[in-house]
Structure 1
């Protein structure tokens, strides 16, 4: 958890909301490190990019193509889109590389950028904390991971599915099934 503490300290002056996301969020939920991680995903609201620009000036994160890893300079004020656009800090800045994932929001609701605005949840409901570190609720982290059939995403699901309470299981099931009615996880969520 040393890496997460370093990220938390680095974000201490950031005035907006942020969440540890991805596999690390599931580790925080499970209260144990379940596997090795190559980076830390930090979710921030796309509408707060001006706060990111004002807080992280030296070095400023770069825009990274999540498919190729290619980076280009980020110009504050530039419009970035939740989903395809990711911000990356230099890999040697912290003990582990940090990527900023952008989230859509509508008022006090988080909005899943792949759900055409129909999948949403109050920001307060997606926020959990452990030792002062804010992290993404497991059903949200797993919803993101459900799009992939990567081995680590499937392992993450099986590691934490039994820890989900009934409302979290139902929410995840109800938001995977319409898009992927044959998804392998659905049987485990009933």
Structure 2
């Protein structure tokens, strides 16, 4: 939790919306640390990149290739794409590495970048907040991202929190996995 506290303090001056994402978001939802984490993913809206650039100037985040880890300088104003483009802070700035994941949006809606604009939810509905005021991604959204992978940790994350999902969250997740992956092994558990 030390890493999350450091992120919360660092983002205190950031005027845009942000969310703790990935496995940490599921830990916050479950109200316990379920497994070790190697980094912290922070989701921000791609439309707010100017706010990111204005807030985080020293050091400025770099653009990181999520497949290779290779980083290059990021110039404010440079367009970045939700999904393939990730911003990284220097690894020694936080207790564990922090990465900024970009989210597509449309007005007051978050839009799943892999859903061709058809999978969306209001920004308020994807936002949960800890008692200390740390915003994190709703579990059905974190799990939707994880559903496209067959990594063991993503499957374990699903099984750790699936029974904690209420009926609307379970139904939403089921209805957004099934059309694209009708044989997905999570679907039977979500019914």
Aligned mates of 1:66, 1:179 — CA distance in 2? 23
The CA deviation string for residues 93-140 of structure 1, in whole angstroms up to 9 with x for no partner, is 011100000000000000000000000000000000012110000000
Q: Partner residue of 1:36? A: 36
Aligned mates of 2:6, 2:96 — CA distance in 1? 9
Q: Partner residue of 2:171? A: 170
* 2:90 aligned counterpart, secondary structure: coil
* 1:67 aligned counterpart, secondary structure: coil
* 2:36 aligned counterpart, secondary structure: coil
The CA deviation string for residues 24-59 of structure 1, in whole angstroms up to 9 with x for no partner, is 000000000000000000000000000000000000
Q: Partner residue of 1:55? A: 55
Aligned mates of 1:177, 1:66 — CA distance in 2? 26
2:72 is aligned with 1:72: yes
2:184 is aligned with 1:179: no
The CA deviation string for residues 65-114 of structure 1, in whole angstroms up to 9 with x for no partner, is 00000000000000000000000000010111000000000000000000
Q: CA deviation at 1:23?
A: 0.1
2:148 is aligned with 1:147: yes
Aligned mates of 1:151, 1:61 — CA distance in 2? 29
* 2:102 aligned counterpart, secondary structure: strand
Aligned mates of 1:81, 1:121 — CA distance in 2? 19
* TM-score, structure 1 normalization: 1.00
Paired positions, count: 190
* 1:125 aligned counterpart, secondary structure: coil
* TM-score, structure 2 normalization: 0.99
Aligned mates of 1:51, 1:96 — CA distance in 2? 23
The CA deviation string for residues 152-189 of structure 1, in whole angstroms up to 9 with x for no partner, is 00000000000000000000000000000000000000
2:17 is aligned with 1:8: no
Q: CA deviation at 1:13?
A: 0.1
